[in-house]
Structure 1
Amino acid sequence: MRVLHVFKTYYPDTFGGVERTIHAIAKGSLAYGIQSDVLSLSRDPIANTVEFDGHMAHKAKLDFEFASTGFSLDVIAKFKALSVRADVVHYHFPWPFMDLLHVLHPPGKPSVVTYHSDIVKQKLLLRLYKPLMHRFLGSVDRIIATSPNYLESSEVLQGFRDKTEVIPIGLDEADYPRASDDLKANWQARFPKPFFLFVGVLRYYKGLHTLIEAAKDVYADILIAGEGPMESELKDQVARAGLTNVHFLGGVNDLDKAALLELCMAFVFPSHLRSEAYGLSLVEAAMFGKPMISCEIGTGTSFVNKDGQTGIVVPPQNARALAGAMMRMSEKTAEVADYPIYARQHYVDILASKSMVERYSVLYGKLSLCAVN
């Protein structure tokens, strides 16, 4: 069987949450006899069309971007050619140009879409896009929500509930290196006090302004690993507040991230908007058996971090509540003592990629069989 994955970006151009999910499915499904191709856009399609962990990452020429949506004429021909040899086409939403591609050039194959997120930021353009979006979602054979929380809270998904099921996103622990004792010792020497850790792109919806506000009442270091468009603004906020316990690490590689995850007291993830649909950084924290602090925003973050079991969930944009949760973690009371155990078990039982890959492989088989019959 052959599956074609379609999304706006992919390795080596980018490797964010959606891209990592595609990679985990494509790599893991090889064990089920499923070959995968991934089609995305790139400014340098020739150089960036590469083989990656047993599947091909095909690129079409990116012509221009508007409102975070890539447009391409080249992708039409590539989509037609790749979909001809595919048994199933697997779309990853949102990417409005992908919807148009599917509607204008139906692949004639069973199709599934993983609904990673509502469109949150572009509210004005969403009004214009809605008819196309509903036509696209109505025409695919199956829709996958990434958590029961998101299925219940998404108005869009409620309109397609009869064809929607939940398959949580999982990560493969084998893809994560473990840091050496020397590397961990270097980080510990640099930050000898207990610390909270955030890892992610510094975007508008990550709630880091609230974390910095909360830091005024937290007697521990807070390490922020990542880069992004909000970096200067956040550093200015720290400087204005005169905080000495907030440290910006910039981008870190996988080994350094592993070291920091092992060493941190807890993982803090203060995203406050629905643009944060799942939070793979939380899955990474659970993989390392770390207690978590996150916000209740009606998305998969509260599926990954279960309040009172794997960590603490607080209201969004509430610095006092966030600081209180961090101080409770710092005190290491009996209340929080079992969080690391349950976080690790939650990863093993639910959040490892094995379950996700198996369920997608079964779904592909069912769709392909229905098409034959």
Structure 2
Amino acid sequence: MRVLQLSKFYPPVAGGIESVAWELTEGLRRHGVAVDVLCSHSRYPGVAEHLPGGGEIRRAGKLGTVMSTSIAPSMPWHLARMARHSDIVHLHMPDPMAAAAFWLARPACRLVVHWHSDVIRQRRALWAYEPLQDWLLGRADAVVATSPPYAQASRPLARWRDKVEVVPIGISDNRGEACSLQAAALRRRFRDRRLVFALGRMTYYKGFDVLIEAAAALPDDCAVLIGGDGELLERFRSMVNHLGLAGKVHLLGHIPDHELASHFEACDVFCMSSTVRAEAYGVAMLEAMVMGKPIVATDLPGSGVPWVNRDGETGYNVPAGDRAALAGALARLLTDDALRARCGAATSKSSAAR
């Protein structure tokens, strides 16, 4: 069998969907399945890479971005070529460029649509995109949703519920031997204060502005570390300075992959402060769970976030956008060692079960 992963981007480009595509690619390869990857490149022209042991990663050259969609004109041609040798195309949505490429190429192989999220922000463009999206779901042999709440709440999936299967996202435990040493160095860097860690792209739905405001109410012997790059990074840095929180909130920018595990290990609590259902699952929470860290997340209706983080067991879920509730839940875990240990043990058990 040969599978073609069709994704918007692919590592080293960081992101939740990108990490899922990588995990699936590597997992299939470990089980002897041949896998190729087709995605957009971050620039023009495109490039071709070879996977160790066989397989191609084709990054189609991007001319630009329109409404968060990469414009990669060569993608339909590459898809037609690569799909001729594939049994299954595994298409990660939302991605209008990939959907358009599949419509144009019309490959004969089976199609699995991995439904990570509905289109949330660009709703004004849905009048043009919905017919293509609906055609793709109709063409699919199977649709994968990542959690029961999202599958039930998704309006685009409602018509196709008979072909939807829920498959929760899983991740590998990628801790290396140097992880604990790096974590200890990180704690020393922040003078052994209790640490809250958050991670994600600096974009509108992550709620990092709410977390920054909440930090003002946390004990002074705490520090909030926020990792990630993106369009709102400088705005958030200005916000930290304006609120006089430069000594308590630290925006770390991009954290290299080989350093991520040490940040999860060093922290006392992980925070997922997202405010919009565009946060469909929260893959970073799984990384915290592998490390046995309690979690404070937001109760986003119709999202998988509060399903992944079980309120009162693996941590707490607070109303989205409520900085006082967020600060209260973080402070409770930070100041209660027994509670923090109990929730951390529950996250470890939960991650092992997944």
Report the TM range for the smaller structure's normalisation: over 0.9
Counterpart of 2:243 in structure 1 is 241
Runs of 4+ in 1 over 6 A off after TM superposition: none
Instruction: Write the mapping of 1:130-279 to structure 2, written as runs, cut at 5 A.
Output: 130-173=130-173, 175-191=174-190, 192-219=192-219, 220-243=222-245, 244-279=247-282
- Checking the alignment, whether the CA contact within 8 Å between 2:334 and 2:340 is kept in structure 1 is no
Q: Partner residue of 1:30?
A: 29
The 2-side partners of 1:28 and 1:335 are apart by 35
- Pick from 289, 293, 309 the counterpart of residue 290 of structure 1: 293
Contact 1:92/1:115 (<8 A) preserved: yes
- Hey, what does 2:14 align to over in structure 1? 15
Measure how far apart 1:98 and its partner are: 2.0
- Aligned pair count? 347
TM superposition shift of 1:164: 0.4
Give the corresponding residue for 1:359.
none
Which shows bigger deviation, 302-311 or 84-93?
Answer: 302-311
Aligned to 2:121: 121
SS of 2:216's partner is helix
Give the AA of the match of 1:228. G
Please state whether the residue corresponding to 1:316 is helix, strand or coil: coil
Runs (5+) with no aligned partner, structure 2: none
C-alpha contact 1:305 1:313 (8 A) present in aligned 2: yes
How much does 1:145 deviate? 0.3
Q: CA deviation at 1:304?
A: 2.0
Which one scores higher on RCO, CA 8 angstroms, separation ≥ 6? Answer: 1
Give the conservation status (yes or no) of the 8 Å contact 2:180–2:265.
Answer: no
Amino acid in structure 1 at the alignment position of 2:244: G
The SS at the match of 1:339 is helix
In the TM superposition, what are the counterparts of 1:56-71 in structure 2 within 5 Å? Answer: 56-71=56-71
Paired residues of 2:75 and 2:98 also in contact (CA < 8 A): no
Matches of 2:110 and 2:258, distance apart in 1: 40
Is the contact made by 2:179 and 2:261 (CA closer than 8 Å) also made in structure 1?
Answer: no
Q: 1:263 to 1:73 in 2, by over 3 A?
A: closer
1:50 partner SS: strand
Task: Mark the CA change 1:324 to 1:53 in structure 2 (over 3 Å): closer, same or farther.
Answer: farther
Q: Distance in 2 between matches of 1:346 and 1:104?
A: 42
Specify which structure has the higher proportion of helix: 1
Counterparts of 1:256 and 1:19, CA distance in 2? 18
* Aligned equivalents of 1:172, 1:53: Cα separation in 2: 19
Offset at residue 335 of structure 1 (A)? 4.4
Q: Normalising by the residue count of structure 1, what TM-score does the alignment of the two structures yield?
A: 0.88
Q: CA RMSD in A?
A: 1.8
Instruction: In structure 1, give the amino acid aligned to 2:235.
Output: E
Q: Is the 8 A contact 2:184 2:266 kept in 1?
A: no
Contact kept, 8 Å, 2:138 with 2:160, in 1: the verdict is yes
